[in-house]
Amino acid sequence: MSMRLLVVDDEALIVEVLKSFLEPSDSDVVGVTNSRAAAEWVEREKFDGIFLDVRMPDLDGFELARKARASSLNGRTPIVMITGLGDVDTMRQGFKVGATCFLCKPITSERVRCVVNAVRGPMLIERRRVARLPYQAKVECVGGACHEKRFEAETLNISEGGLLIQSSVGLAVGDELLLRFHLPSAPRLLRVWGRVLREEPPGRFAMEFFDSSVRDQEAIRDYVLGRVEG
């Protein structure tokens, strides 16, 4: 599975150079020369990594990084800031707005390779966190102040961060449930707390895991890791 990357620089030549270095490493690269257009991209598309120039008209790299960090899709996506400025103040400001690391100009294949190697781990972690894998199983749901609400639902997909379930029982955003279910890779029943984030089509609810035991977190992580290509 290729990495999906966003490259933003007001110089079209820089965008093309970066694409030529990144695409051979099995990456799907979206190149954008307008920072305001890039801000729309980070709001509507999920990326594994973002490369953006510090000095740009309209929105500069710091402002664009802030928007990425504030977005629901790319709030944790690794950000590489492209700069010809090697001073401490620039880097300090970049880290403050959420930069993961810096790529200094002039851009060379060796520098790009070093940066990609540095952020590949965080990119894979983020990919696994949000990857939704088809998974159908019965899940027992227990809720209410005294655990008086008990019903059975069906899982539709799973990620490190949560489940999508289908239920005939109505739920509201913010409802908290104890979820009991099996994974093929785990010999025991998992007991994980989930919170309703949103309702998708009627009867389908996106659940966010929280307050899970380390053992259960590791079981879910191992299951997802074994099925998401790095």
Distance CA 220, CA 222 (A): 5
The pLDDT value given to residue 41: 96
C-alpha distances out from residue 139 to 135, 151, 157, 173, 179, Å: 11, 9, 12, 19, 6
The pLDDT value given to residue 146: 65
Please say whether the beta carbons of 152 and 139 come within 8 A: yes
C-alpha distances out from residue 120 to 51, 101, 125, 229, Å: 13, 12, 9, 13
What DSSP letter does each residue of 51-84 carry, written as one string? EEESS-SSS-HHHHHHHHHHSTTTTT--EEEEES
Distance CA 177, CA 20 (A): 48
The pLDDT value given to residue 174: 92
The pLDDT value given to residue 230: 46
- What pTM was computed for the model? 0.70
Nearest to 17 by CA among 109, 94, 136, 141: 109
Do 3-130 and 133-225 show the same overall fold? no
- The domain ranges of the chain are 3-130, 133-225
* Digitized pLDDT (tens) for each residue of the chain, 230 residues in all: 578 999 999 999 999 999 999 998 888 999 999 999 999 999 999 999 999 999 999 999 999 999 999 998 899 999 999 988 777 888 899 999 999 999 998 999 999 999 999 999 899 888 877 778 899 999 999 987 666 789 999 999 998 889 999 999 989 999 999 999 999 888 889 999 999 988 988 899 999 999 889 999 999 988 887 776 54
Domain topology for 133-225: Thrombin, subunit H (2.40.10)
Please say whether the beta carbons of 190 and 181 come within 8 A: yes
The CATH code of domain 3-130 reads: 3.40.50.2300
The pLDDT value given to residue 130: 75
